[in-house]
Amino acid sequence: MKNLTLTRRHFGLLAAAGIVAPARGFAQPYREITWDDLIPPGVPYSEIIADGEKDEVNDTWSPIFDENGVKLNTALNGQVIRMPGYIIPLETVADGVTEFVLVPYVGACIHVPPPPPNQLVFVTAKNPWPSDNLWDAIWVTGQMSTNLRSTDLGDIGYELAALNIEIYEW
């Protein structure tokens, strides 16, 4: 059997690995989800929007979401997830957007009608997303919570505290 000796260099490399490895070991992995995952299991996508009301004066249509449109997937509550989507900015600072609604397609909520609450995610970001990238598809990674809330844009079913935002690579 060969005699193994530990040089200073090897000891330094092992010590550095010992410092870095535990930090990676404790990092919480994310679960990659799609928009379908926001709908509770057993609820068909075709049943999340009911009839609506037409406003003849303003020439708009307002959807009426039945109970399936506001049902949330509570299994996602507290989960660290990663999901794609598009930005509808709500709060902007000099460096970019810090609060936005993540939507499944470009222009959702801007065009009438908005998606149902279980297809909208309210995102808060400590690191602003650059305003010149607002039309790009993005990935958002963060901790999800199920929390139905009302805004001027519509009712929103989920909240996501963003840990990372990046361009969605096709």
- Distance (Å, whole) CA 50 – CA 118: 14
Position 137 scores a pLDDT of 95
- Distance (Å, whole) CA 21 – CA 54: 59
Position 131 scores a pLDDT of 87
Q: pLDDT (tens digit, 9 = 90+) per residue, 72-108?
A: 999 999 999 999 999 999 999 999 999 999 999 887 7
Position 45 scores a pLDDT of 76
Q: Pick the more confident residue, 10 or 104.
A: 104
| CATH homologous superfamily, domain 30-167 | Protein of unknown function (DUF3299) (2.40.50.870)
- The residue extents of the domains of the chain are 30-167
* Mean pLDDT computed over 12-40: 67
Band of pLDDT at residue 46, cut at 50, 70 and 90: confident
Q: pLDDT (tens digit, 9 = 90+) per residue, 20-33?
A: 444 444 466 999 99
Question: CA 86 → CA 1, 11, 67, 139, distances in Å?
Answer: 60, 48, 25, 9
Q: Pick the more confident residue, 114 or 156.
A: 156
